[in-house]
């Protein structure tokens, strides 16, 4: 049967009917261990009871009124984000790309309002991924994502990731903002060293540039802190979040300080769906689960456990595995050529384990944050088999 879907994706011939915790099930009741979680989205696993309840309760009451009207839950979720982060103000979106767009607009507006309309330069990093809108593909700088879509936008400079000299040279008093993922997701799970984020903070302070973190993939508890940059202590001026903060319901946000956010006055930005009551209730329920004592420590422990297990694989297959990458439960293995991440991914899937592929020939894992050692052991056993079968 031919498909009526735009062919931007090529999914395998596999349909899941139901999900529960770390497991997905097809119509025959066969189970898959989900170590990719909808690309780091299903942070609490599938159909977490607290999220299901929040969504169902709200679905019976009110779905949508737009931003024309107040939604008290918006204030409630924004307060939670701000009480536990650098931020004072929040704008809610439906996706990560929209959060990035808002963040970039706010950065330029900040300088424009200071009389520096020409200060538009955004410094970004090789291997970055920030989404698929025009602004986001120009920020990401991946030529394959820009080809055929018209001229490149003005005002984006890309430098090597975690390169100190390049940062010192590129960040000047013409820079509007520096945009970085503290842990690169799509680019191959490279984590920026803590000192590097602190250096960027210093350079931004010295030049008056704003520091923007894209924590769309690495935030929401994934590294064992609510936001990945917390490990470094280097706070941003603006931060984009999405994916895990909605736990599977479309939700994103950009967060900022009063100093920056206050410039985005009535009429400067908007969204029809952003901050809708369904997303807000799910976002609140998810946040409260993650703030429960011990939740984030569990993520840290599981991240360490998985890393040890992956290091074990690297010892067994030194000819295949170059490196173990990532931070917390955003992690993976970089394969040596001629071995290919996607082939290992398919072999693992054939054996009941779902993983992902990232750039730089990395096999990516981003399991639900609720995994246990048993899940991790099982995943590693299957990867072991998949690697052995690929040798």
Ligand X SMILES: *Cc1c(COP(=O)(O)O)cnc(C)c1O
- CB closer to ligand X out of 128 and 302: 128
CA distance 138 to 157: 9
* Residue 314, burial from CB neighbour count under 10 angstroms (0-12, 13-18, 19+): middle
- Measured CA distances, 66 to 74, 255, 269, 273, 275 (Å): 11, 20, 14, 6, 8
Closest approach of Cβ 210 to ligand X, in Å?
17
Closest approach of Cβ 11 to ligand X, in Å?
16
Q: Are strands 356-358 and 362-365 parallel, antiparallel or unpaired?
A: antiparallel
CA distance 233 to 60: 42
Closest approach of Cβ 101 to ligand X, in Å?
9
CA distance 289 to 291: 5
- CB closer to ligand X out of 11 and 115: 11
Residue 225: other Cβ atoms inside 10 A: 19
3-state secondary structure of 247: strand
Closest approach of Cβ 345 to ligand X, in Å?
18
Closest approach of Cβ 246 to ligand X, in Å?
9
For residue 214, the cross-strand partners are: 240
- CB closer to ligand X out of 228 and 382: 228
- CB closer to ligand X out of 180 and 320: 180
CA 253 to chain centre: 12
Cβ contacts of 368 within 8 Å, gap of 6 or more:
21, 22, 34, 37, 42, 43, 44, 45, 46
Q: Tell me which DSSP letter residue 201 carries.
A: H
Binding site for ligand X (CB under 6 A): 95-97, 100, 129-131, 181, 185-186, 214, 216-217, 242-243
Closest approach of Cβ 145 to ligand X, in Å?
12
* Residue 83, burial from CB neighbour count under 10 angstroms (0-12, 13-18, 19+): exposed
- Among 123, 135, 67, 63, which Cα is nearest to 99's? 135
Q: Are 27 and 33 in contact (CB under 8 A)?
A: no
Q: Active-site positions?
A: 129, 214, 243
Q: Which residue is nearest to ligand X (CB)?
A: 96
Closest approach of Cβ 247 to ligand X, in Å?
13
| Both tokens assigned to 75 | 């204030």
- Measured CA distances, 176 to 50, 105, 109, 124 (Å): 41, 10, 9, 11
Phi, psi of 320 (to 5 degrees): -110, -30
């Amino acid at each position: 049967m031919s498909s009526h879907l735009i062919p931007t994706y090529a999914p395998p011939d596999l349909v899941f009917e139901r999900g529960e915790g770390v497991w997905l099930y097809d119509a025959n009741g066969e189970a898959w261990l989900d170590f990719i979680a909808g690309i780091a989205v299903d942070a609490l696993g599938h159909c977490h009871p607290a999220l299901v309840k929040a969504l169902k309760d709200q679905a019976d009451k009110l779905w949508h009124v737009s931003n024309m009207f107040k939604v008290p839950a918006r204030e409630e979720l924004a307060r939670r984000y701000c009480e536990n982060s650098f931020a004072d103000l929040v704008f809610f979106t439906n996706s990560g790309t929209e959060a990035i767009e808002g963040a970039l607009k706010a950065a330029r507006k900040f300088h424009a309002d200071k009389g520096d309309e020409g200060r538009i330069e955004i410094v970004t990093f090789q291997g970055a991924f920030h989404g698929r809108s025009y602004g986001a593909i120009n920020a990401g700088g991946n030529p394959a994502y820009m080809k055929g879509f018209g001229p490149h936008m003005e005002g984006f400079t890309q430098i090597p990731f975690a390169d100190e000299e390049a940062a010192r040279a590129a960040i000047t008093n013409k820079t509007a903002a520096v945009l970085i993922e503290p842990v690169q997701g799509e680019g191959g799970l490279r984590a920026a060293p803590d000192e590097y984020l602190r250096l960027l903070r210093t350079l931004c302070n010295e030049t008056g540039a704003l520091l923007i973190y894209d924590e769309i993939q690495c935030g929401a508890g994934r590294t064992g802190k609510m936001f990945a940059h917390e490990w470094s202590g280097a706070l941003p001026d603006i931060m984009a979040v999405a994916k895990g903060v909605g736990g599977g319901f479309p939700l994103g946000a950009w967060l900022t300080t009063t100093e920056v956010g206050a410039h985005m006055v009535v009429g400067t930005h908007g969204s029809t769906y952003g901050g809708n009551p369904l997303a807000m209730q799910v976002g609140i329920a998810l946040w409260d689960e993650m703030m429960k004592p011990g939740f984030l420590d569990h993520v840290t422990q599981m991240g360490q456990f998985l890393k040890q297990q992956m290091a074990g694989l690297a010892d067994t297959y030194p000819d295949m595995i170059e490196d173990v990458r990532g931070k917390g439960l955003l992690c993976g293995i970089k394969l040596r050529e001629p071995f290919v991440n996607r082939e290992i991914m398919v072999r693992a899937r054939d054996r009941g384990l779902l993983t992902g592929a990232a750039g730089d020939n990395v096999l990516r894992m981003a399991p639900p944050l609720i995994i246990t050692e048993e899940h991790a052991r099982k995943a590693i056993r299957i990867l072991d088999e998949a690697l052995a079968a690929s040798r």
